């Protein structure tokens, strides 16, 4: 059993029957986070943080560069206010449609302001445990706080990171709510960031072919929340992750990070290392921007590896609707729709979407959330399309009430009952009476029965089934013309 000497408290269980909820509670009560584990001299990853094999596929913790040969696009915003605006908008459009993420340079936030912000976050996380314990909270109503894993009690395994947050979603953040140690760097960075947020809203509006004030007008990026992550050195990075693969629920996420890598994005069905670019900020398209753009822009799946190098420090700023807009329904932007581009999603408020994203850890368990909100019939993709899209949970539209699901079982062999089989051989002559009696009894007792020797050749039956299978497995574009309501 691993223990943390500085807390005098067990944080892992001893046997296979150990209660994960109990382990999570005991760990949370230390209020020391992952940083506390490392500082205690722990040489092995506690079981609470060990992920199942499906979360650890294709991990390469010691990768520092783009081993795939693919690199996230870099967009130079120099001159976006005048002579180069069209070029910048076109670059944003291409990156948002193909990658769902991109670096931006010459974005207007001074490098020294970025460095001071990162250093302040690092210093906050490296404060003595007694200091940080006063900040530890899971109360979302607070505007500043610190915790380890928001989904600690709902995830299958905890991730190797701690988080400090600054909430600007309910108006101006009171400086007195922020520790003096980081107050000046945080508010300096926020002032510059606010200008960049406005610029990105305008440029992305134009990239969608809309007026520059469109996204600003619907209030979709009015609020922001900064999650400042700290990923300590990990003794066994092959057993855990810094952040599990997911996409962001936000409209847009703008990420500032230090020189330690570990971030990867999913592109063309492979994981691509996002090597740090000095002075750059990474933009991630979020789920809600994919929804309102009707799949024109792609929300990017990403993850952070646990590594033996570090610490990795990042500041993720999530942009989402303001308090007045959170509860209003958002759907695909009407100006982007026509008969060839029907709405792919039903309308939903950000509050409801984010609630589903957080419930039972849906958004942070490696599974896509957006497919659950597709305007199903309008996709003309069918259930096969849902499976092909990567959906790993049944969308709510297909979930039946309990009264429809009694006594369901995929394994009925244990009942000893079998459907009647009626052999039609000789039904026109010598066996006609026996066959009629068999059909009568099966119809009365079962209402269903197999028939064999019915006269349809096996190869005709096989060809029919194969033809049906091939049709259903065609691309959606091919099946589209046959779709009918």
Q: What are phi and psi of 21, to 5 degrees?
A: -60, -40
Q: What is the DSSP-derived secondary structure letter of residue 136?
A: B
CB-based burial, 287-306: b 16+ in 10 Å, e otherwise: bbbbbbbbbbbbbbbbbbbb
Q: What is the pLDDT at residue 363?
A: 67
* pLDDT at residue 275 is higher than 60: yes
Average pLDDT over residues 231-245: 96
Q: What is the pLDDT at residue 55?
A: 83
* pLDDT at residue 194 is higher than 70: yes
CB-based burial, 372-389: b 16+ in 10 Å, e otherwise: bbbbbeebbbeeebbeee
Tokens of residue 33, six digits = 């986070």
The span from the CA of 137 to the CA of 147, in Å, is 6
- pLDDT-derived band at 65, boundaries 50, 70, 90: very low
pLDDT digits (tens, 9 = 90+) for 408-466: 765 555 577 899 999 999 888 888 999 999 999 999 999 999 999 999 999 999 999 99
Superfamily in which the 30-398 domain is placed by CATH: B-lactam Antibiotic, Isopenicillin N Synthase; Chain (2.60.120.330)
What is the three-state SS of 439-465? Answer: HHHHHHHCCCCEEECCCCCHHHHHHHH
Q: Are strands 312-320 and 223-231 parallel, antiparallel or unpaired?
A: antiparallel
- pLDDT-derived band at 263, boundaries 50, 70, 90: very high
Determine which of 116-120, 126-130, 402-406, 439-443 has the lowest per-residue pLDDT on average.
402-406
Q: What is the pLDDT at residue 4?
A: 36
Which of 228, 37, 21 has the alpha carbon at shortest distance from 124? 228
Find residue 338's DSSP bridge partners. Answer: 341
Give one DSSP letter per residue of 228-276, joined into a string: EEEE---S-TTS-EEEEEE--SSSEEEEEE-S---EEEEETTEEEE---
Helix, strand or coil, per DSSP, at residue 112: helix
Share of the chain above pLDDT 90, in %: 68
Q: What is the pLDDT at residue 66?
A: 46
In contact, 366 and 244? CB cutoff 8 Å: yes
Number of helices (H) and strands (E) in the chain: give both, helices first.
14, 18
* pLDDT at residue 134 is higher than 60: yes
Q: What is the residue-averaged pLDDT of the chain? A: 88
Whether omega before 311 lies within 30 degrees of 0, making that bond cis, reads yes
Share of the chain above pLDDT 70, in %: 90
Find residue 42's DSSP bridge partners. Answer: none
In contact, 251 and 220? CB cutoff 8 Å: yes
Q: What are phi and psi of 97, to 5 degrees?
A: -80, -35
* pLDDT at residue 209 is higher than 80: yes
Sign of the CA dihedral 288, 289, 291, 297? negative
The span from the CA of 462 to the CA of 34, in Å, is 58
Q: What are phi and psi of 221, to 5 degrees?
A: -130, 35
Q: What is the pLDDT at residue 62?
A: 47
Tokens of residue 410, six digits = 């995929």
- pLDDT-derived band at 360, boundaries 50, 70, 90: low
Q: What is the pLDDT at residue 377?
A: 66
The span from the CA of 349 to the CA of 219, in Å, is 12
Q: Which residues contact 72 (CB under 8 A, 6 or more apart)?
A: 99, 101, 102, 103, 265, 272, 274, 282
pLDDT digits (tens, 9 = 90+) for 70-101: 999 999 999 999 989 999 999 999 999 999 99
Which of 106, 141, 147 has the alpha carbon at shortest distance from 125? 147
pTM reported for the whole predicted model: 0.77
The domain ranges of the chain are 30-398, 418-482
pLDDT digits (tens, 9 = 90+) for 18-59: 588 999 999 999 999 999 999 999 999 999 999 988 888 777
């Amino acid at each position: 059993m691993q223990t943390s000497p500085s807390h005098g408290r067990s944080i892992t269980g001893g046997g296979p029957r150990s209660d994960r909820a109990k382990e999570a509670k005991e760990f949370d009560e230390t209020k020391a986070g992952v940083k506390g584990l490392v500082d205690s001299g722990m040489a092995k990853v506690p079981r609470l943080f060990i992920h199942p094999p499906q979360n650890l596929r294709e991990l390469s913790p010691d990768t520092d560069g783009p081993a795939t040969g693919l690199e996230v696009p870099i967009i130079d915003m120099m001159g976006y206010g005048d002579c180069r605006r069209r070029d910048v908008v076109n670059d944003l459009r291409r990156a948002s449609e193909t990658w769902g993420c991109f670096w931006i340079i010459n974005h207007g936030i001074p490098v020294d302001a970025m460095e001071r912000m990162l250093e302040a976050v690092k210093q906050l996380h490296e404060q003595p445990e007694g200091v940080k314990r006063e900040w530890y909270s899971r109360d979302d109503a607070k505007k500043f706080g610190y915790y380890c894993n928001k989904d600690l009690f709902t995830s299958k395994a905890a991730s190797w990171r701690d988080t400090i947050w600054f909430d600007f979603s309910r108006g101006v953040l009171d400086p007195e709510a922020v520790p003096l140690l980081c107050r000046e760097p945080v508010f300096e960075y926020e002032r510059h960031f606010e200008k960049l947020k406005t610029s990105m809203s305008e440029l992305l509006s134009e990239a969608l072919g809309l007026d520059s004030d469109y996204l600003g007008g619907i209030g979709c990026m009015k609020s922001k929340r900064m999650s400042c992550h700290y990923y300590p050195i990990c003794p066994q990075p092959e057993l855990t992750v810094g952040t599990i693969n997911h996409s962001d629920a936000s409209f847009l996420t703008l990420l500032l990070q230090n020189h330690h890598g570990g971030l990867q994005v999913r592109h063309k069905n492979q994981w691509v290392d996002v090597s740090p670019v000095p002075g750059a900020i990474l933009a991630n398209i979020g789920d809600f921007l994919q929804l309102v753009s009707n799949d024109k822009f792609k929300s990017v799946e990403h993850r952070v590896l646990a590594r033996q190098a570090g610490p990795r420090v990042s500041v993720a700023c999530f942009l989402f609707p303001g308090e007045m807009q959170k509860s209003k329904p958002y759907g695909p932007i009407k100006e982007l729709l026509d008969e060839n581009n029907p709405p792919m999603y039903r309308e939903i408020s950000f509050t409801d979407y984010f609630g589903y994203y957080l419930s039972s850890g849906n958004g942070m368990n490696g599974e896509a959330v957006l497919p659950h909100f597709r305007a199903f019939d309008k996709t003309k993709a069918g259930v096969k399309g849902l499976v092909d899209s990567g959906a790993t949970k049944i969308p709510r539209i297909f979930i039946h009430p309990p009264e429809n699901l009694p006594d369901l079982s995929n394994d009925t062999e244990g009942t000893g009952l079998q459907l009647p089989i009626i052999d039609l051989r000789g039904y026109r002559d010598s066996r006609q009476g026996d066959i009629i009696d068999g059909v009568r009894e099966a119809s009365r007792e079962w209402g269903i029965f197999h028939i064999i020797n019915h006269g349809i050749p096996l190869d005709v039956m096989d060809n029919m089934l194969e033809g049906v299978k091939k049709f259903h497995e065609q691309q959606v574009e091919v099946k589209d013309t046959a779709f009918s309501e």
